[in-house]
Every structure is written in structure tokens, then in C-alpha cells.
Amino acid sequence: MTSDPLKVGVKIREARKQRRLTLQRVAEATGLSIGFLSQVERDITTPSLSSLVTIAKVLDLPVSVFLHQPEIPNAVSRREGRASYAINPAWISYERLSTTFPGQMLNAVKMNVPPRYLSETTAHEGEEIVYVLSGTIRYVIDDTSFDLKAGDTLHFSAQRPHRVQNPTDQVTEVLSVGTQQLFGDAARHGGLSPVGKETSRKGHEKIAMRGTEGEKEVIR
Amino acid sequence: MTSDPLKVGVKIREARKQRRLTLQRVAEATGLSIGFLSQVERDITTPSLSSLVTIAKVLDLPVSVFLHQPEIPNAVSRREGRASYAINPAWISYERLSTTFPGQMLNAVKMNVPPRYLSETTAHEGEEIVYVLSGTIRYVIDDTSFDLKAGDTLHFSAQRPHRVQNPTDQVTEVLSVGTQQLFGDAARHGGLSPVGKETSRKGHEKIAMRGTEGEKEVIR
DNA sequence: TTGTAATTTTAGCTATGGTGAAATATTGCA
DNA sequence: TGCAATATTTCACCATAGCTAAAATTACAA
């Protein structure tokens, strides 16, 4: 039994009151008892994971809202002096805009997509919003094409297979903000390191260098 | 006891294997037994909330990664035809870039900050990244000032008291992406509606119309 | 002040969260 | 291929946490 019980109660009560709901209403919607919810809100009892998910759903909030978020440093990234990463000029070059720390949710990258560029299809956890700063870009998601130009945005789930194309002769600048950690972040902060031999690692990195994810791996 | 137990096991195992960790290593780090972790990974057992948080911390991931993410529609927002919201020309005008659905994590807004604008201080859940599209802006976070110009970004926790200033005679355009739901979203989708009389609501809205949060409330 | 609704308290139950140890599967090496 | 070591699964079990229902208390509106 792990110590340090979580205190989700205050946030649950705040959310409930903001929506002007009574315990009875929430009890009916969740199928939990009024008394239990009262105890949860005062941190006398901790709900099970599935009960918390149910409560969150009824309050129309993501579960993560109720969990402690780690401290986030303020981080400025200035256009001058910002490193651009690309191994191959024919690939996307990246400028990282966000800071990194364990548990961070947001990652922002400015991408300079070269003319005629065509990325491999990728899919990963999270949600993404892209904003076209200049030029034209095509996003293909689940075989659906979206042609975007400066000022346009696209909001999509990164879990869906997606790829990027620049069909023009000009470089396109795109701002991409997502909730998925960029590759390389986890290896850099916190967590545990693996045990034993690492000979199989080289092969993996070599493969990853070939595509979009390989490119992202360069950001360190 | 709510039905539909959550299945976090597959993702936990994936994360563990990606980091090349054994169950024994994770068990040592979490203080949980090997057998239990094995059962958790195969969804035979569901961990308690605090155990899940501990596991997530050891795997250096946010808990939300292990929870089912709702389906996200693809949404394009084009510059032409995008509605701009501002009651008062002296206030920030907003163009919403992101789509809305229950459980969404990301929200993006393009803000046109008028000359000499000074917002009220605000603080809310979540994380935020701002990117200056044009002009100059000052963000004050916890009494620390950050002067940003086109191409600069700032990544900060929205939980910290923050406010925005445009000290120039020009309009500044800023792209703001955050993990906190915009006001008005919860009332529009899912969740429960409050009971009883709503006479007190009018007074609340009137107050909120005066400041930054009042402005956000206009987005519907 | 009174009545009703909302919340808190209390006593209690049972199933689940988690253990330790044995059994089994996997992996690496000679 | 065989074997030893490591990793994982299985199994039997138990304590308590997750949650209930009902009574008691508080809050609020008329």
C-alpha cells in the first residue's frame, strides 16, 4: 500500500459547485452514494480509479485535472539564438519552443517543411494543434487530406495515422503544439533507467533516423 | 461499485518495455509486488489511484497517458470566415482555433491585443504556451515580466497569477495554446446541468464581463 | 421561525488491492 | 541444444479501503 494518499476532493468540490450541482445530482449521475461523494470531496476517502473517471465524466472534465500537476518553470524561447535541428536539408528542420520537465503536457515545435517534402505516416498518443505560419501544407489524417495555408489551423488526435506534405516549391513554416512527449524527453528526465545490456539500442536508433520520428529524436 | 473497469495494463506494459525495465525494477521503485504489477499489466487487477500515480511517476509519464482518451474529431479552422469576438474594441479580440468536445485537452486561441491594453491578473488550471505572431507583448507571471516579440514563445503554468500587457501603439497578435478548458466549454457539452433557480447567474455574468475572464466567456 | 433540501456522520460489509511464494516461461550463453 | 539465471505468471490468501444506507446535522429560502 503506497503512502501519501491523493487529495482530489477540493478540486472535485470546486468543479461541482462551479456547475451548481448538488451532491445528490452527482450521486444520481455517477451511481455513487451521496455520503461517499461527500467524503471524497473532503478527502476522507479516496475514490477508486474507475469511480474517479466516472466522476470526472459527469463533471465533464479530464481526470488529469484532479491530479497534482508538477511545477512548471517559466520558459521563454526567443527567435534569435534558437537552435534549428535537421540532419538532412531535405528533411524538416525543427525549432523547439517548449520547455521540458517530468509530467509536462504541452510540447511546441516550429517546423520548417522543405519544398516537396513528404513525411512517413506516424501515430502516437495525444492531441495536436498545428498553425500554419507561412506557406502551404497538406496534412493527411486517416487518408483524409487537409490543405492549409497561412493562418489556418488543424486540431486532430495524434493517435490517428497522419503524415505531412509540402506540395509547393517554397518552405512552409508550421507551429505544432501537442500533448504527446517528444521522443528523447523521457530518457532525459526522471524515471528509471533500464538494466542490462544495451546492444539492441543502436539498431533501434538507426531505424528511427529514417523518418519523421527519427527526425524528432534529433531534438536534444 | 462502478462497472466497466479501466484497462490501463497494456499502456503500462508498453511504457515499461519502451524503457527496457523489468517488473522487478518497477516493483522496487514503486514498492509494489512483482505479482501485482504483472496482474495490473494484464488487466487482471486495477491499481488504486495512488498506486497508479506512483507507477506513472516511476515510468516518468503523466497519469492521463494511461487513461482512455476520447475520440477527437479533425477540425480545420481557416483564417477566412473565422469569427472574432470582442465586446469592446479596447479589449482583446479572440479567434478560436481549436475544436471542442468533452475531455479535450488542448485549446488554441488567436488573440489580437489592442494598443496599450492591460489585462486583469488571472490564474487557472493547466499549462500554456504562447507564440507571438506579430508585434510586442509583455507577460507578467508571478510579478516576473517577460517581454516577447514576433517569433518568441513563453511556456508557463496557468496556475500562476498572470496578466498580459501591450505597451506599444500597435495591435499585437498572439497565438495561445493551453490545456485548460476555455470558459463556456463545460456549459456547452456533456456533464450535468445545475438544478434549481438561476437568478444568481445573471449577477455572476455581469461581473465576469468586466475582465479577461469575462472576455473569454464571450466565446460561444 | 419553520420546513425542506443539502450535506455530514456513523456503523458496517464485502470485494478488491495487494502480498509472498511456488510454478512456469523466457532469455542468453556455451 | 541444453542449462542456468532471470523474468513473469499463477495461486491462495487477507486486511482494509471503497462504498453503502440511514440517521443526524446544517444550510437556506420563504
Return the minimum-mean-pLDDT range out of A210-214, B70-74, B191-195: A210-214
d(CA A174, CA A17): 40
| CA A186 / C1′ D12 distance in Å | 38
Of A18, A57, A155, nearest to B98 by CB-CB distance is A155
Q: What is the pLDDT of residue A38?
A: 92
Residue A218 confidence class, pLDDT cut points 50, 70, 90:
very low
CA B175 to chain centre: 14
Residue A68 confidence class, pLDDT cut points 50, 70, 90:
low
Q: What is the pLDDT of residue A101?
A: 60
CB within 8 A of A41, min separation 6: which ones? A9, A10, A12, A13, A16, A23
| CA A2 / C1′ D16 distance in Å | 13
Cell numbers 509536462: residue: A104
CB of A87 within 8 A of CB of A69? no
User: Between these two residues, B189 and B210, which has the higher pLDDT value?
Assistant: B189
Q: What is the pLDDT of residue A187?
A: 34
Question: Whose CA is closest to A32, among A5, A1, A2, A59?
Answer: A59
pLDDT tens for each residue of A105-143: 788 888 888 888 888 777 766 788 899 999 999 998 878
pLDDT tens for each residue of A20-48: 888 988 998 898 999 999 999 998 888 88
CB of B175 within 8 A of CB of B135? no
User: Between these two residues, B119 and B93, which has the higher pLDDT value?
Assistant: B119
Q: What is the pLDDT of residue B78?
A: 78
- Give the bridge partners for A122, in sequence order: A162
Mean pLDDT of all residues in A192-200: 43
State chain B's mean pLDDT as an integer: 72
**Per-residue three-class SS string for B101-141:** CCCCCCEEEEEEECCCCECCCECCCCEEEEEEEECEEEEEE
CB within 8 A of B118, min separation 6: which ones? B163, B164, B165, B166
Q: What is the pLDDT of residue B39?
A: 92
Determine the residue type at A17: K
Residue B5 confidence class, pLDDT cut points 50, 70, 90:
low
Of A29, A50, A151, nearest to B79 by CB-CB distance is A151
Q: Is the pLDDT reported for residue B151 higher than 80?
A: yes
Question: Does the CB of B49 sit below 7 A from strand D?
Answer: yes
Indicate yes or no: CB of B192 within 8 angstroms of CB of A25.
yes
pLDDT tens for each residue of B8-30: 888 899 888 888 889 988 998 89
Mean pLDDT of all residues in A71-95: 69
Of A59, A75, A160, nearest to B191 by CB-CB distance is A59
C-alpha cell at B109: 486561441
Question: Whose CA is closest to B162, among B147, B141, B183?
Answer: B141
CB of A110 within 8 A of CB of A127? no
Tell me if chain B has a CB within 8 Å of the CB of A171. Answer: no
User: Architecture of domain A9-66 in CATH?
Assistant: Orthogonal Bundle (1.10)
Q: What is the pLDDT of residue B96?
A: 77
Question: Whose CA is closest to B89, among B110, B109, B115?
Answer: B115
C-alpha cell at A70: 508538477
Which string of DSSP letters, residue by residue, matches A93-107?
EEEE-S---TT---E
Residue B121 confidence class, pLDDT cut points 50, 70, 90:
confident
% of chain A beyond a pLDDT of 70: 68
Contacts of A69 in chain B (CB under 8 A): 125, 127, 157, 159
Question: Does the CB of A24 sit below 7 A from strand D?
Answer: no
Q: What is the pLDDT of residue B218?
A: 30
Residue B160 confidence class, pLDDT cut points 50, 70, 90:
confident
**Strand A144-149 versus strand A136-141 pairing type:** antiparallel
Q: Is the pLDDT reported for residue B86 higher than 70?
A: no
Residue A82 confidence class, pLDDT cut points 50, 70, 90:
confident
Mean pLDDT of all residues in B173-185: 69
Determine the residue type at A3: S
Q: What is the pLDDT of residue A181?
A: 54
Q: What is the pLDDT of residue B41?
A: 92
> Closest-CA residue in chain B for A19?
B194
> Which nucleotide lies at the shortest CA–C1' distance from B197?
D29
Residue B101 confidence class, pLDDT cut points 50, 70, 90:
low
Question: Whose CA is closest to A58, among A26, A13, A31?
Answer: A26
d(CA B39, CA A194): 21
Q: What is the homologous superfamily of the domain A93-216 according to CATH? A: Jelly Rolls (2.60.120.10)
| Angle between helix B49-58 and A49-58 (nearest 10) | 100
State chain A's mean pLDDT as an integer: 72
Contacts of A104 in chain B (CB under 8 A): 62, 127
**Distance in Å, alpha carbon of A48 to nearest chain B alpha carbon:** 6
**Distance in Å, alpha carbon of A169 to nearest chain B alpha carbon:** 22
**What are the residue ranges spanned by the domains of chain B?**
9-66, 93-216
| CA B159 / C1′ C9 distance in Å | 34
Q: What is the pLDDT of residue B132?
A: 92
Q: What is the pLDDT of residue A131?
A: 92
CB of A185 within 8 A of CB of A108? no
Indicate yes or no: CB of A105 within 8 angstroms of CB of B105.
yes
Mean pLDDT of all residues in B66-88: 66
| CA A198 / C1′ D4 distance in Å | 22
Cell numbers 507577460: residue: B139
CB within 8 A of A28, min separation 6: which ones? none
In this structure, what are the phi and psi dihedrals at residue A151, rounded to the nearest 5 degrees?
Answer: 95, -15
Residue B186 confidence class, pLDDT cut points 50, 70, 90:
very low
Tell me if chain A has a CB within 8 Å of the CB of B87. Answer: no
ipTM of the complex: 0.58
Interface A-B: count of C-beta contacts within 8 A = 270
